[in-house]
Structure formats: C-alpha cells, structure tokens
Amino acid sequence: MVRPDYNTAQWLTYATGRLIVSNCRAKLENFSEFASSYNEDFLDALLAEIDAAEALPTEEQRAQLHKQLLEEMNPIFKTCQGKMMYLKRYIERAFAPEFWEMNFMSAGLDKYSSEMNHAEALNMYTNALSYIETNKEVLGANGNMPDAFKTGFATVKSAYADKVAAFEAAQNAALENTDVKIVANNAMYKKIIVICKDGQVIFADDETKKGEFSYEKQSELIKPVGPAGLKGKVIYLIDGKPVVGAVGEIEGTKHTATTNKEGEYDFGANLASGKFTVKWKLNDEVIAEEDVTIPAGTTVRDTVEVEVPGEPIVEVKVPGEPIV
C-alpha cells in the first residue's frame, strides 16, 4: 500500500498546490534569478500535473463497482444459504436421528454460518454438492429430495462464484487505482514543496513573502484549521477481507466506531488533532492497537490490518493517511 506524503485532504492538496504555483508565477522573476528551471513552461506543466492527478477516480468512484457487485452478490448468497437449509431438512427426512450429525458434517453443514466469508461459503457449497451426488439415491427416496434440487443448487452456486470472482477483482482494482492516485499526488506534491523550500531561501528576509511559500499557511488560507476526522477500513491481513462488527476506541476520548459489512468505520469529523492510540476489539477480544496522527483540520483515512481471531495482537504504528 502506497502512503501519501501530504497530510491534507486531497481537494485541499490540489487547491494549495495551485495557489503556490500562482504565487510563484507572480514572483517568477525572483525565482528565475534563483534557478533558470523556473519559467512559464515549468509552471504550466505543474498545473497540468495537478489537474491530471485530481482527474483520477475518487475513492467513491473507485469503490462503486465492487460495492455494486457486493449488493448483487448478497441475494445470491442468501439463496445458497437457503439451499443448505433445504439440504439439512432432506437429511433429517432421509436418515434416522442418530445419523444426522455425521451426515451434517459430511455435507458441510457444520461450517454453516450467516457471517461466513465468501471463500468459506463456496467451499461449503462445493462439499454439499459432492455430498448430494454421493447420497442422491437415499436423499431422493420416497419422494424426498427432488431430482432437480442438485442442478438448481449447482446453478446458483456457480452464479455466486462468478460474482465473488468479479467482486474480488474489482476490489483489487480499486486498491491498485488508489495507489496510482496517491503516487500521482505524491509526485506533484513533491514539486510544490520544492517551490516552497526555494521560496523560503529567496525571500529569507521577508516574512510576508516567505508565508506565500509555506504549504501550511497557504492551505490554512483555503481551509482554516478546525476539527479533524478519522475513517477507513479494518481488514484481515491474510486475505484482505473486511472485519465486520469490530469496535474501535480512541483511547483517552469517548470516540468509538463500529465497522460495517464492508469493514468500513468512521469516527466522525469532530476530533481533536494530535497523536492517538486506537484500540480495536472483535467480540470483546482486542485484535489490534495502532498509533494514528491526525493533523488539525484533516480527515485521515487509515486501513487497519489484523490477524485472524485468536492470533497475537498486531501492534501497528503508522502516521495515518489523509482521506483519498
């Protein structure tokens, strides 16, 4: 995962960059005397680079496809889960009670859970279909399980597998495109900071003009410093799957957040700035602790990667990531 070099929200990073380019253009004679590389062409190219970075898909645009696929996938998942319940009942009708448990396990029903992840669900459905094929005569005897049940189950399982594959591909593409945007932002931000550093030297004896080449001061002109925020995702380190229902607490405050079905959380936009420790729990078990730095007036986006439940706590110390 690529980390941003900037600590302002993206829209503010672009706006601040353009303002500093404008300030440089107004004093281009001074900059050109300092270094001949400062000219109109350089500034025009830098503005074009800022425009290109801003034009790359936003976070919401990058997430649109896999969020849509997830919504399409959920009803198919529910249908498959319903098939498993049908199969359980067919087993109960076909076998004496003392044989139920062994048949449930053979069919994969011991793995059944409404909260299982996609890989677990697909594995369970594969086991169930194999079990049905092996026991179809017993299950179908005396007008019990219809002959068409296995075919229908296999069809809906195939549709679910296709949606899962498309969802995971879209999720990976979104992550890759996030990196592309941050790389582009970092590149243009680096050039803006070079202008600022040069401006500090050129106007060393003029505090007012030096302020025109202070990234912090110019960003505050556009957006005065105010409350900060923290949002992001909690995912499993092993496969990148979302951690659902994890509860985060910013220690020393009353701020808490709970992850949704996509592992997303939002502490809101009314936080104090500073460095904080965030503790994450799942089913009252601490799964991660991390240090996050939240700059004033900035909403930070932070992805928390955790081990599977029961593994040792992962202590992550990162500066935080401005929202992209």
Question: Residue 310's pLDDT is what?
Answer: 47
Q: Which CATH architecture has domain 225-324?
A: Sandwich (2.60)
HEC profile of 243-270: CCCCEEEECCCCCEEECCCCCEEECCCC
Residue with tokens 């597998």: 161
Question: Residue 116's pLDDT is what?
Answer: 86
Q: What is the pTM of this model?
A: 0.57
CA distances (Å), 203 to each of 20, 180, 189, 208, in order? 14, 35, 21, 9
Residue with tokens 């106007």: 203
CB atoms < 10 A from the CB of 128, how many? Answer: 25
Check: CB of residue 72 under 8 Å from CB of residue 163: yes
For the segment 169-216, what is each residue's pLDDT rounded down to a tens digit? 988 888 888 899 999 999 999 999 999 999 999 999 999 999 999 999
Task: Split the chain (324 residues) into runs of 10 and give each run's mean pLDDT.
Answer: 86 94 96 96 97 91 86 94 97 97 96 88 96 96 95 97 92 87 96 97 95 92 75 86 92 90 88 84 89 79 78 41 45
**Radius of gyration over alpha carbons of the chain, in Å?**
27
Buried-exposed string 218-245: b where 16+ CB fall within 10 A, e elsewhere: bbbeeeeeeebbbbbbbbbeeeebbbbe
Residue with tokens 């396990």: 105
Within its chain, how far is the Cα of 77 from the centroid? Answer: 22
Could you give the CA distance from residue 212 to residue 207 in angstroms, rounded to a whole number? 9
Check: CB of residue 83 under 8 Å from CB of residue 153: yes
Could you give the CA distance from residue 108 to residue 103 in angstroms, rounded to a whole number? 9
Residue with tokens 């401006």: 199
- Listing DSSP states for 275-296 in one string gives EEEEEEEETTEEEEEEEEEE-T
Domain with CATH 2.60.40.1120 in the chain: 225-324
Check: CB of residue 4 under 8 Å from CB of residue 185: yes
Question: Residue 165's pLDDT is what?
Answer: 93
Question: Residue 225's pLDDT is what?
Answer: 59
Q: Is residue 147 classed as helix, strand or coil in its secondary structure?
A: coil
